[in-house]
């Protein structure tokens, strides 16, 4: 009996905390009617903002997946001077406020910045927004992959070596399938974090409509403009994307994960 | 010569793990490296496979110096203690992996996998994942995987270590059968002397990174050169003795010196008496071998097929193994005075090796 | 892995792609409030420019808090035109060497729109607030943005401070001491200080507070969006003026000087001023300055203000920031690290 009370308690807590806001948002939105919503979503500004968010998130996922696995590899498998420091620094994006991150980019690469001579225009550009998005979502893949990588005993790789497999082939055929669930999870988090990024992208990009305005900046601005339909519509789309990502991952995961159940 | 190790050496900092080991193994031989854990036996295996870099010395496989080659180019099949099967691949895929790496054509690969599955008697289980197989089955797949590329040398690191006793015995026979059938030169590492006796053509006893001695199971059991070998390969009663003329003196007793022990004359030696080679009688005249003296029974213990009798001969305690039938016939009980005789005994030099046992 | 790529391609493909035929691009960096006005003015200007020159103008618009916008432009955001809430924010850009010409060299002193600091209360004015003095009463909950982050908030503070300083707030002596006492009493009543003016007014709109200190245009914008509240014009308040300027260094860099200057000039035309008026802005005030040419390039436009006459009541005692020496004096003496406001708010918050 006590078990059911606990289950009920946990479910209602999680339900209220996780689902209620999403539901409220959707109900709030539907009051405007589908035509109004469709019109709000299909304004060029909203579409461009969504597109920019997606492009930034996907690029950030690709960069952070490749680099994240690489960094995790170096941190787990190699010994070097300053490793502990480097390992701690990886978490920096978790503790630094995104607005500060954006501001630092401007300070470094802005007109009077130390690195203003940098050949690529970073301040107030999509490139700069990508840089800060990559920065804020950097730790996820690393932190997901590291413990799994550390738990892999060397024998699996050694077995592959004795069977003639090169280091790259061994990584691709033996390690990657083992790491894949953690990489996927890291990708989900990276994607979610990148899509949700607001402060750093807003400061780094300057928030120019249709150019450096992401979906979250659009939502913020729409709220300021009293364009509630626009804000809610894009917010719901972002929410649906998040749900979609979760479903996609759940669908991908068992196929890989099943083989790892012991 | 199939495997030739010349003065190989491996250390980590000040700690020497493999100390100047030289060894020659014949083609088709099943050689067992026997030693306690931490003795360096697994490291020798890893040095041969190239998984651990060599500090000094040379390794040749079939006359080819492989000392500096990476593991991929050594042509060695390796079976790990925990099998290390690729968890995300089926048994078939595991076995085929090495062939895929070598770009063996698909049809040929398939044929070889089928052949190997037959060899390990697992024809119907090729599509299973490791977690769907028992420990013994996983072990057999690991052996098949190691054999897939027809390696010149098969190395097995404690292949039965994680299995229970029953399966172990059966798998040993399977392995021996496969090895004989394929004639692949094999080194097997174990800490289990029974396993070594059952499988080995020859055994190398290793302790503290040193290869103490090499010989057939029989040689090493009956006539070890080292105290460590004597004790590690079964129970041994060892007593300080000295050889003089044609006699060996053990305290007050003296026995005829065993043949071929002239070189031990004058130096401190130890006499080794295997418990099963000691006989017990109520009267000295009933003893078939040389008389050791009169002793007191201190303890009787059931030990399966045999009965272990602990006796005290003056200030020495001896373990003796006799048939329960004989024990019943004699009707001995703790405190009884009995006569000890010995049919077979062996002398070995003292202080030859004082490594950790 | 293959699935992920498929997914990437799928997502990329539905994203809209615009054929970008852009003869000239003009970047506008503005503060958030006049966005509705610019949304009307920009198409008018685009049509006008196309008619006159046959060239299409693409606008890139950024609307952020005025101070942030100013910092961004100084930091390298290459905006051609800045439209800010606060003269001081333009001065920052001038000091950074980006505006080299005298941007105030026009009849309006560089100001494109105006407003006044007002009080907004709940329908029916339940707390009976009729002038500045009433918001200093104990128990009144006041909403105003934070002058530390919002340029607009400084207008509010100066509206309250100035009225008291001029002896127009009942119960407070004229002069510095009385003024300081008045804003102290007001800020004791302040419950929420948002980062910018719009956010602050939205907070009030969502039901927090009894009275918001805000700008007249903010009230009209809220009213147009269906907000329900009443405006209270203090008998004495400050004239808020919003500057607009061409950023010389960037327009020369971008090759947009001509169109940028034309756009700024267009903001003073009757159509543009009508759009500002619709959004609740008063027209800019012509500066009586002997140095300025008597025949200004841009004529004042009575038509534009005609409608506004009724919309925007006359304030009994309207003063400007110039009455306190201009922002270059007020910013350090009132809002500086050792300024009157800064010390006062530290004390109020410390309590």
ipTM: 0.85
Q: CA-CA distance, C279 to C113, in Å (whole number)?
A: 11
Closest Cα partner for B90 from B163, B145, B167?
B145
**C-alpha distances in angstroms, B66 versus B4, B59, C260?**
10, 6, 76
Instruction: Spell out the domain ranges in chain B.
Output: 3-227, 235-349
- Predicted confidence (pLDDT) per residue in B136-161, tens digit: 999 999 999 999 999 989 999 999 88
Whether pLDDT at B278 is above 70: yes
Q: What pLDDT does residue C224 have?
A: 85
| Best to test chain A binding among C43, C75, C196, C249 (most A CBs inside 10 Å) | C75
Q: What CATH fold (topology level) applies to the domain B235-349?
A: OB fold (Dihydrolipoamide Acetyltransferase, E2P) (2.40.50)
Whether pLDDT at C299 is above 50: no
Is there a contact between A243 and A23 (Cβ–Cβ < 8 Å)?
no
In this prediction, residue C20 has a pLDDT band, given cuts at 50, 70 and 90, of: very low
Q: CA-CA distance, B86 to B80, in Å (whole number)?
A: 12
Residue of C nearest to A203 (CA): C72
3-class SS letters over chain C: CHHHHHHHHHHHHHCCCCCCCCCEEEEEEEECCCHHHHHHHHHHHHHHHHHHHCCCEEEEEEEECHHHHHHHHHHCCCCCEEECCCHHHHHHHHHCCCCCCCCCCCCCCCEEEEEEEEEEECCCCCCCCCCHHHHCCCCCCEECCCCCCCHHHHHHHHHHHHHHHCCCCCCCCCCHHHHHHHHHHHHHCEEECCCCHHHHHHHHHCCCCCEEEEEHHHHHHHHHCCCCCEEECCCEEEEEEEEEEECHHHHHHHCCHHHHHHHHHHCCCHHHHHHHHHCCCECCCCCCCCCCCCCCCCCCCHHHHHHHHHHCCCCCEEECHHHHCCHHHHHHHHHCCCCHHHHHHHHHHHC
Whether pLDDT at B10 is above 90: yes
In this prediction, residue A260 has a pLDDT band, given cuts at 50, 70 and 90, of: very low
Question: Taking phi first (over 0 means left), then psi (-120 to 50 degrees means alpha), and beta for anything else, what does residue B321 get?
Answer: beta
Q: What domains appear along chain C, each with residue ranges and CATH number?
A: 19-113+242-311 (3.40.190.10), 114-240+316-350 (3.40.190.10)
Q: Give the Cβ contact number of residue B136 at 10 Å.
A: 18
Whether pLDDT at C21 is above 50: no
Is there a contact between A246 and A188 (Cβ–Cβ < 8 Å)?
yes
- Predicted confidence (pLDDT) per residue in B159-184, tens digit: 988 788 888 888 999 999 999 999 99
Structure token digits, residue A32: 């405007």
CA distance B193 to chain A (A): 25
Question: Nearest 5°: phi and psi at B287?
Answer: -75, 140
**C-alpha distances in angstroms, C19 versus C16, C22, C93, C256?**
10, 9, 34, 22
The SS3 assignment for A7 reads helix
User: Looking at beta carbons, which pairs linking B317-323 to residues 24 or more positions away fall under 8 Å?
Assistant: B318/B237, B318/B273, B318/B275, B318/B278, B319/B235, B319/B237, B319/B275, B320/B275, B320/B278, B320/B280, B321/B275, B321/B276, B321/B278, B322/B279, B322/B280
Helix (H) or strand (E) holding B194: helix B193-199
Chains in touch with A (3+ beta-carbon pairs under 8 Å) read B, C
Q: What pLDDT does residue B212 have?
A: 94
* Contact status of C9 with chain A (Cβ, < 8 Å): no
Q: CA-CA distance, B272 to B276, in Å (whole number)?
A: 12
Q: CA-CA distance, C117 to C213, in Å (whole number)?
A: 7
| Best to test chain A binding among C9, C69, C77, C253 (most A CBs inside 10 Å) | C77
Residues of chain B in contact with residue A257, where contact means CB-CB under 8 angstroms, are none
List the single range of A25-34, C116-125, C245-254 with lowest mean pLDDT: A25-34
Whether pLDDT at B251 is above 90: no
Q: What pLDDT does residue A125 have?
A: 87
Q: Which residues contact A186 (CB under 8 A, 6 or more apart)?
A: A64, A65, A68, A140, A141, A142, A143, A144, A145
Closest Cα partner for A259 from B94, C3, B138, B90?
B90
Q: What is the mean pLDDT of residues C188-214?
A: 90
Q: What pLDDT does residue C264 have?
A: 95
* Contact status of C324 with chain A (Cβ, < 8 Å): no
Q: What pLDDT does residue C292 have?
A: 42
Q: Which residues contact C193 (CB under 8 A, 6 or more apart)?
A: C144, C145, C146, C153, C200
In this prediction, residue C225 has a pLDDT band, given cuts at 50, 70 and 90, of: confident
Cβ within 8 Å, pair C75-A113: yes
Radius of gyration of chain B measured on its C-alpha atoms: 24
Q: What is the CATH number of domain A34-260?
A: 1.10.3720.10
Structure token digits, residue B319: 């373990």
Q: What pLDDT does residue C22 have?
A: 53
- Predicted confidence (pLDDT) per residue in A29-79, tens digit: 888 888 999 999 999 889 999 999 999 999 999 999 999 999 999 999 999
Q: CA-CA distance, B140 to B168, in Å (whole number)?
A: 11
Structure token digits, residue B197: 């006796």
CA distance A249 to chain B (A): 19
Helix (H) or strand (E) holding A231: helix A228-257
Q: What is the mean pLDDT of residues A182-192?
A: 90
Question: Nearest 5°: phi and psi at A201?
Answer: -65, -40
* Contact status of C78 with chain A (Cβ, < 8 Å): yes
Name the residue with higher pLDDT: B41 or C15: B41
Is there a contact between B224 and B213 (Cβ–Cβ < 8 Å)?
yes
Q: CA-CA distance, C135 to C104, in Å (whole number)?
A: 36
Q: Which residues contact C221 (CB under 8 A, 6 or more apart)?
A: A226, C33, C36, C279, C280
Q: Do chains B and C touch (3 or more CB pairs under 8 A)?
A: no
Residues of chain B in contact with residue A163, where contact means CB-CB under 8 angstroms, are 97-98, 101, 145-146, 148-149
Is there a contact between A128 and A145 (Cβ–Cβ < 8 Å)?
no
Residues of chain C in contact with residue A126, where contact means CB-CB under 8 angstroms, are none
- Predicted confidence (pLDDT) per residue in C38-52, tens digit: 999 999 999 999 999
**C-alpha distances in angstroms, B275 versus B35, B249, B312?**
22, 19, 13
Whether pLDDT at B71 is above 80: yes
The SS3 assignment for B144 reads helix
**C-alpha distances in angstroms, C128 versus C119, C132, C159?**
12, 12, 20
Mean pLDDT in chain C? 85
In this prediction, residue C295 has a pLDDT band, given cuts at 50, 70 and 90, of: very low
Q: Which class for C138: exposed (0-12), middle (13-18), buried (19 or more C-beta within 10 A)?
A: exposed
In this prediction, residue A253 has a pLDDT band, given cuts at 50, 70 and 90, of: low
In this prediction, residue A252 has a pLDDT band, given cuts at 50, 70 and 90, of: low
Q: Give the Cβ contact number of residue A103 at 10 Å.
A: 20
**Same fold: B3-227 with B235-349:** no
Q: What pLDDT does residue B352 have?
A: 52
Whether pLDDT at B354 is above 50: no
The SS3 assignment for B57 reads strand
Q: What is the mean pLDDT of residues C184-207?
A: 90
Q: What pLDDT does residue C4 have?
A: 52
Q: What pLDDT does residue C184 have?
A: 94
Q: What pLDDT does residue C116 have?
A: 94
Q: What is the mean pLDDT of residues A81-88?
A: 92
Q: CA-CA distance, A163 to A173, in Å (whole number)?
A: 13
Structure token digits, residue B3: 């495997």
Q: CA-CA distance, A212 to A56, in Å (whole number)?
A: 11
Structure token digits, residue B105: 């054509």
Is there a contact between C194 and C183 (Cβ–Cβ < 8 Å)?
no
Q: What pLDDT does residue C302 have?
A: 41
Q: CA-CA distance, B34 to B47, in Å (whole number)?
A: 16
Whether pLDDT at C280 is above 50: yes
Question: Taking phi first (over 0 means left), then psi (-120 to 50 degrees means alpha), and beta for anything else, what does residue C295 get?
Answer: beta
* Contact status of B101 with chain A (Cβ, < 8 Å): yes
Q: What pLDDT does residue C308 have?
A: 42
Cβ within 8 Å, pair A124-C11: no
Instruction: Spell out the domain ranges in chain A.
Output: 1-31, 34-260
Please name the residues between 142 and 201 in chain A that touch chain B, using a CB distance below 8 Å.
153, 155-156, 158-166, 169, 173-174, 177-178
Residue of A nearest to C224 (CA): A226
Q: CA-CA distance, B301 to B312, in Å (whole number)?
A: 15
In this prediction, residue A24 has a pLDDT band, given cuts at 50, 70 and 90, of: confident
In this prediction, residue C288 has a pLDDT band, given cuts at 50, 70 and 90, of: low
Residue of B nearest to A167 (CA): B72
The matching CATH number, chosen from 3.40.50.300, 3.40.309.10, 3.40.50.10860, 2.40.50.140, for B3-227 is: 3.40.50.300
């Amino acid at each position: 009996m006590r078990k059911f009370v606990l289950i009920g308690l946990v479910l209602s807590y999680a339900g209220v905390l996780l689902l209620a806001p999403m539901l409220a948002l959707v109900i709030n939105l539907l009051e405007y009617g589908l035509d109004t919503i469709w019109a709000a979503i299909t304004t060029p500004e909203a579409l461009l903002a969504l597109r920019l968010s997606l492009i930034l998130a996907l690029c950030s996922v690709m960069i952070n997946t490749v680099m994240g696995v690489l960094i995790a590899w170096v941190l787990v498998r190699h010994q070097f001077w300053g490793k502990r420091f480097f390992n701690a620094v990886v978490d920096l994006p978790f503790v630094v406020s995104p607005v500060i991150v954006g501001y630092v980019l401007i300070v470094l690469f802005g007109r009077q910045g130390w690195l203003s001579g940098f050949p690529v225009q970073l301040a107030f550009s999509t490139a700069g927004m990508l840089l800060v998005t990559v920065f804020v979502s950097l730790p996820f893949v690393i932190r997901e992959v590291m413990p799994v990588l550390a738990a892999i005993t060397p024998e699996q790789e050694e077995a592959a070596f004795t069977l003639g497999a090169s280091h790259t082939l061994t990584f691709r055929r033996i390690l990657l399938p083992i790491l894949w669930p953690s990489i996927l999870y890291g990708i989900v988090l990276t994607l979610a974090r990148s899509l949700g990024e607001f402060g750093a992208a807003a400061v780094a990009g300057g928030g120019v409509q249709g150019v450096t305005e992401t979906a979250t900046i659009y939502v913020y601005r729409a709220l300021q403009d009293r364009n509630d339909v626009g804000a809610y519509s894009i917010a719901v789309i972002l929410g649906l994307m998040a749900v979609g990502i979760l479903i996609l991952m759940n669908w991908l995961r068992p196929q890989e994960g099943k083989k790892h159940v012991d | 010569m199939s495997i030739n190790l010349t003065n190989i050496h491996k250390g980590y900092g000040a700690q020497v793990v493999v100390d100047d080991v030289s060894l020659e193994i014949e083609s088709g031989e099943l050689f067992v490296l026997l030693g306690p854990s931490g003795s360096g036996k697994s490291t020798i295996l890893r040095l041969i496979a190239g998984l651990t870099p060599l500090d000094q010395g040379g390794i040749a496989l079939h006359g080819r110096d492989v000392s500096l080659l990476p593991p991929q180019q050594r042509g060695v099949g390796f079976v790990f203690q925990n099998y290390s099967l690729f968890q995300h691949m089926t048994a078939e895929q595991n076995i085929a992996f090495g062939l895929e790496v070598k770009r063996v054509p698909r049809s040929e690969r398939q044929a070889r996998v089928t052949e190997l599955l037959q060899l390990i008697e697992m024809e119907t289980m090729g599509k299973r994942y490791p977690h769907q197989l028992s420990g013994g089955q996983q072990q057999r797949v690991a052996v098949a995987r190691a054999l897939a590329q027809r390696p010149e040398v098969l190395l097995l690191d404690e292949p039965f270590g994680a299995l229970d006793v029953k399966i172990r015995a059966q798998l040993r026979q399977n392995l021996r059968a496969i090895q004989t059938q394929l004639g692949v030169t094999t080194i097997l590492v174990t800490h289990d002397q029974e396993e070594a006796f059952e499988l080995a053509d020859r055994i190398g006893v290793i302790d503290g990174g040193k290869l103490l001695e090499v010989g057939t199971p029989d040689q090493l059991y009956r006539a070890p050169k080292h105290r460590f070998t004597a004790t590690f390969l079964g129970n041994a009663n060892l007593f300080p003795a000295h050889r003089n003329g044609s006699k060996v003196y053990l305290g007050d007793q003296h026995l005829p010196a065993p043949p071929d022990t002239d070189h031990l004359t004058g130096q401190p030696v130890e006499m080794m008496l295997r418990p099963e080679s000691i006989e017990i009688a109520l009267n000295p005249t009933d003893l078939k071998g040389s008389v050791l003296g009169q002793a007191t029974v201190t303890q009787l213990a059931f030990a399966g097929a045999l009965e272990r009798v602990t006796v005290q001969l003056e200030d020495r305690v001896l373990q003796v193994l006799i048939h329960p039938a004989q024990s019943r016939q004699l009707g001995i009980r703790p405190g009884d005075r009995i006569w000890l005789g010995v049919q077979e005994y062996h002398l070995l030099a003292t202080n030859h090796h004082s490594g950790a046992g | 892995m293959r699935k992920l790529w498929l997914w990437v391609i799928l997502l990329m493909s539905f994203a809209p792609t615009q054929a970008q035929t852009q003869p000239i691009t003009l970047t506008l960096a503005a503060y958030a409030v006049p966005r509705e006005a610019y949304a009307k003015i920009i198409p008018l200007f685009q049509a006008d420019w196309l008619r006159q020159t046959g060239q299409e103008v693409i606008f890139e618009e950024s609307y952020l808090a005025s101070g942030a916008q100013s910092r961004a432009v100084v930091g390298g955001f290459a905006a051609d035109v800045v439209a800010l809430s606060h003269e001081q924010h333009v001065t920052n850009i001038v000091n950074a060497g980006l505006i080299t010409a005298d941007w105030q060299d026009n009849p309006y002193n560089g100001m494109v729109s105006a407003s006044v600091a007002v009080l907004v209360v709940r329908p029916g004015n339940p707390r009976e607030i009729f002038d500045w003095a009433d918001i200093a009463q104990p128990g009144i909950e006041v909403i105003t943005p934070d002058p530390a982050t919002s340029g607009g908030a400084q207008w509010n503070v100066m509206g309250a401070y100035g009225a008291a300083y001029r002896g127009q707030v009942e119960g407070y002596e004229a002069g510095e001491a009385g003024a300081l006492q008045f804003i102290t009493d007001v800020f004791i009543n302040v419950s929420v200080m948002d980062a910018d003016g719009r956010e602050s007014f939205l907070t009030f709109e969502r039901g927090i507070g009894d009275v918001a200190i805000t700008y007249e245009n903010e009230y009209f914008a809220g009213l147009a969006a269906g907000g329900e509240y009443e405006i209270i014009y203090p008998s004495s308040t400050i004239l808020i003026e919003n500057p607009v300027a061409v950023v010389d260094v960037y327009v020369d860099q971008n090759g947009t000087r001509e169109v940028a200057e034309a756009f700024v000039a267009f903001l003073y035309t009757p159509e543009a001023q009508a759009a500002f008026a619709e959004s609740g802005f008063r027209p800019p005030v012509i500066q009586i300055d002997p140095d300025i040419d008597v025949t200004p390039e841009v004529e004042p436009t009575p038509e534009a203000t005609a409608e506004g006459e009724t919309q925007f009541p006359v304030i009994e005692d309207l003063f400007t920031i110039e009455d306190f020496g201009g922002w270059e004096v007020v910013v350090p003496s009132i809002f500086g690290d050792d300024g009157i406001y800064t010390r006062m708010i530290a004390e109020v918050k410390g309590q």
